[in-house]
Amino acid sequence: MGLPEHALTEDEQIVLDFHPHWTTLLKSFLLLLVVAAIAGVVIFFLPDFSLQTQVRLGIAGVAVLVALIFCLVPFLRWFTTRYVLTTQRFTLREGILSRSGRDIPLTRVNDVSFSHNLIQRMLGTGTLVVESGGERGQLVLKNIPQVERVQSELYRIIEDLSDGHYDGPRKER
C-alpha cells in the first residue's frame, strides 16, 4: 500500500490507491523482447571458432545486463510509485532506493482536470492535472488508470468537504 495506516489521521479513509497505468511499462517490455531476440539470433548464428562458448556467454551476459538496466529498473520505478486519494488529501509516493512524496490537502485544491487522446481512451488511461493553492501549484500526473473516475471521485470528495460531510466512496455501476 502507498500510505500506511499509521500515517492516516483519525477520521481519514483511503478512497483510491493505485499505480500508474500498465502502459507505462510497454516500452520496457518491447525493449526486453528486442534484446532477447537480437541476442538469440547473434548467439545462434555465431560462426564456429575456438572461443565460441566464451563469446556466447559474453553476449548473453550483455543481454541480461541491458535487460536489467532498461527493463527491471522501470518496472521497479512503476511498482514503487503509488497514488493515494484519501478523504483529506491526495498523495504521491515514489522512489526505489530513496523515497519522495507529495501530499496535497484537498481543502487547497482549486481545480482538477484530465485529458486523454483516442488511444489513451481505448487503453483506459490519461493525464490528471491537480491545481492547488500552494507554492508548488500544479501537479501533472501522466498514465493514470481510469483517469475520469479518479478525477470525478477527487472532485466529489472536494465538494463534499466544502459542504461539511463526506458520504464515502461512490458505488460502481
Q: How far apart are CA 1 and CA 83, in angstroms?
A: 10
At 11 the pLDDT is 83
pTM of the model: 0.79
The residues, ordered by sequence, that sit 6+ positions from 67 with a Cβ below 8 Å of its Cβ are: 32, 35, 36
* Residue 48 pLDDT: 76
Q: Do the Cβ atoms of 114 and 151 come closer than 8 Å?
A: yes
pLDDT in tens, the chain (173 residues): 567 777 788 888 889 999 999 999 999 999 999 999 999 999 888 887 777 888 889 999 999 999 989 999 999 999 999 999 999 999 999 999 999 998 889 988 989 999 999 999 999 999 999 998 777 778 899 999 999 999 999 989 988 888 776 666 555 54
Alpha-carbon span 117 to 121, nearest angstrom = 6
Q: Is 42 helix (H, G, I), strand (E, B) or coil?
A: helix
The helix (run of H) or strand (run of E) holding residue 143 is strand 138-145
Nearest to 18 by CA among 87, 85, 101: 85
User: 14-18 and 100-105 as β-strands: parallel, antiparallel, unpaired?
Assistant: unpaired
pLDDT of residue 34: 94
pLDDT at position 95 is 92
pLDDT of residue 170: 58
